[in-house]
Structure 1
């Protein structure tokens, strides 16, 4: 009798464990609409930075605000940027990547890029595309290899800053701060709470925020595009005195909205503090 009870218990436990495992797997493979996504693991394998053997071309594929985003760069110039979908269940065999749209032409630029073919096979990214500059066409056929390091999406020169959110927690109160900027360049609002690193003065706005001039927003956007940020890495939770500095930058490039989550820099803190003080002075006057 006791043996039968133990057996029933083991069977029930096995069923419950299997259901839990299935549930966790299902949770990891749901897309943004809540529907099951059988290709989620493929997306994870595609994501990251890819580079040609000569180091001239690089590609970044990442999951972002509007889904999966693809960028292709020639040295420091972004030649293609847009969202994409993929077909295939095993990138070691062949996974076809379909960008949308297939042609990228930044506003006011002299270069456009038409992607004819893009796929991953045998853990390599194959790209065939044509660059058009000043009426001349240059075809390319590349093989790019997956890199080990994490990557942020490069920001094209034509991208518009949509939102900035930066908070930092530290052991010292004067090193704790928060900055939030939201809205387009001509109607951006800033809210912040920080200590000026130069004179120790407290700089603070209300939660609704105060207007920021278009000139300051243009200066900020230029600084962010020219600065080399590194991906954000959460601090060790077991280190009580660790500094946690998380900077989130959201951009719009044509129809694509994307966000880079980075580690902050002291130069940016100084710039934002100055912008906040100027905005407060303008608001008071």
Structure 2
């Protein structure tokens, strides 16, 4: 699309609405946004650049009310989402490092949104409206379905994507403590004597590479599932250790500790498997590895340790 030039001068009625509904509310909304995110944020919106896209709609006469509604919609969504994801505000502050909220027209071709959405540009969180949809579905621009892809696609140098980090925080970090405790109990060890290595960065890198290959069968939402799937592989090990009575049979427990003398379990993705089509367990140099190929990641997770007794 060709960007429209800003309005040279807004009518008196529109300027009054901008003053009464937006300018008089801006500082309070910036305060709300800053308190919510725990950092000082600014809202930088040029009403004259927004008005040409009114399409004889809501914003034509009520531009200030429209802008205010967009900002209020962002605050509402962030408040709701930060209540569900404990590290979201920290992630937003890091990814949107300029700590500026803006409103602009969607320029991508083809458009990424039917009505509105958001992205991150130059460290700023940009609320976006489709060229002919200013004032439509205002409150949805920073919904989870729009905000999370925007944060995930933002430029950055961290080894794990936003979606992966969020999933690890919400679906792995707390849960894995209980898993490690169960393994420790089965082995007669203290929790801090057991090491579970999720190997997230290497797994992430291998899945990124595999996903980019033509015809990849890796699910589209794999990044968000990284934490939960990895936790499930470790949980599957616990289930099979119970099944072969590691905690009840002294001989089996002794055999496990002799074979896995480093009391360390690692998840990893390998190029080829030795004994299975989907996933398997191997022991190497006192370390137990739960492994699969990238193409089979997440498939038949519960079977990953089914061959454990055979290798002790």
The answer to which structure has the higher helix fraction is 2
Class of the TM-score when normalised by the shorter of the 2 chains: under 0.3
TM-score between both structures, scaled by the size of structure 2:
0.23
The answer to which structure has the higher strand fraction is 1
TM-score between both structures, scaled by the size of structure 1:
0.24
Higher radius of gyration, 1 or 2: 2
